[in-house]
Copies of this chain bind each other. A is one copy, B any other.
Amino acid sequence: MAQSAVIRPGHVCLRVLDLEAAVRHYRDRVGLLEIERDSEGRVYLKGWDEQDWFSVVLREADHPGMDFLGFKVLGTDALARLESDLNAWGCVTERMPAGELRHCGERVRFQLPTGHVVELYAQKDFMGNGLGRVNPDPWLEGVKGMQAQRFDHCLLYGRDIDGNIALLRDVLKFDLTEKVVDGELVVAAFLSCSNKAHDIAFVRHAEDGKFHHASFLLGTWEEVLRAADIIAMHDISLDLGPTRHGITRGRTIYFFDPSGNRNEVFCGDYTWYPDHEPIIWTADQIGRAIFYHDRRLNENFLNVVT
């Protein structure tokens, strides 16, 4: 039992093939708010219920995938301490200057053992969720599409899952909340720095540095249906759902952005507490673990990554 100085996944930077098509997808269908663009042409967005300046950055590139994933930490002291702990653990870190991402303070960047670029930061400008801090209404009218509340987590694919778990548990003090095991081999791991059932997850995969999905939070199973309808109305490529995960109990639907990056919108995992023991899924039940209703994996879900 430990406590993490990491607060939450605070942003993800995704590569997209056609920037304007991507903006239409994340803004008009997923329902993020477009906040601004920077001099490099990157587009910043956020979920309506997020308080900080942005949580999604889109960068036009010639192949899709994830540039980096950022976590907010409790303060500059915590940032310095975690940087030092990462170095002590053998992780090379790099300081990205304040302002390199608009409205974001210095970021400590490093690579996970699976090759994914992760960064920690302590400061991002406050924008608010549009409801104000005094006598706020419970939700914001006029949000588009699926009305995603926030960027929630990512699932990443790579080889050294054990190394990732070790780094996140030992250095960043995440909890392992659920894992899928094939005998002694951990084939998937779900980790939390909060009371959420997962803030990041990994699946063992032959190729490092791969991106499986970025997930956005909805409020209810009825909103998952609404998202599914919107996916069909606008001919968005569906992966699978609506369904339930065995892992995390989440109610979910998976689909692809126009560049082939997978998205999830979901609701309803349980409250994780640090005195709980991790839940274990055995490989023979991996179908049920991932897609609880179907009880079998589709090939897409295992193999299509960016």
What residues of chain A have their CB less than 8 Å away from a CB belonging to chain B? 1, 3, 5, 7-8, 49, 51, 72, 74-75, 133-139, 141, 150, 194-196, 219-222, 225, 228-233, 235, 238, 241-244, 246, 249, 251, 253, 268, 270-271, 273-282, 285, 288-289, 292-295
Contact = CB atoms under 8 A, between A and B. Distances in A.
A280 B229 contact: no
Count the copies: 4
A139 B141 CA distance: 19
Contacts of A279: 133-134, 136
Contact of A134 (B228, B273, B281): B281
Nearest to A241: B293
B242 A229 contact: no
A237 to B, nearest CB: 10
Contact of A135 (B133, B243, B281): B281
A126 B77 CA distance: 36
Given A225-B244, A232-B288, 14 more contacts: A1-B75, A7-B275, A51-B273, A134-B280, A137-B229, A137-B232, A141-B233, A150-B271, A220-B220, A221-B222, A228-B292, A229-B244, A232-B293, A238-B295
Nearest to A122: B275
A295 B133 contact: no
B8 A273 contact: yes
Contact of A251 (B51, B225, B233, B281): B225
A72 B275 contact: yes
Contacts of A232: 137, 244, 288, 292-293, 295
A1 B8 CA distance: 14
Nearest to A277: B133
20 contacts: A3-B3, A51-B273, A72-B275, A74-B274, A135-B285, A137-B233, A138-B246, A194-B195, A194-B273, A195-B195, A196-B271, A222-B222, A232-B292, A232-B293, A232-B295, A238-B294, A238-B295, A241-B293, A242-B243, A242-B293
A172 to B, nearest CB: 14
Nearest to A132: B279
B3 A74 contact: yes
Contact of A282 (B49, B135, B251): B135
Contact of A292 (B75, B138, B141): B138
B1 A74 contact: yes
Nearest to A248: B138
Specify which of A51, A136, A246, A277 lies most central, judged by the most chain B CB atoms within 10 Å of its CB: A136
Contacts of A282: 134-135
A75 B196 CA distance: 21
A281 to B, nearest CB: 6
Contact of A274 (B7, B249, B294, B295): B7
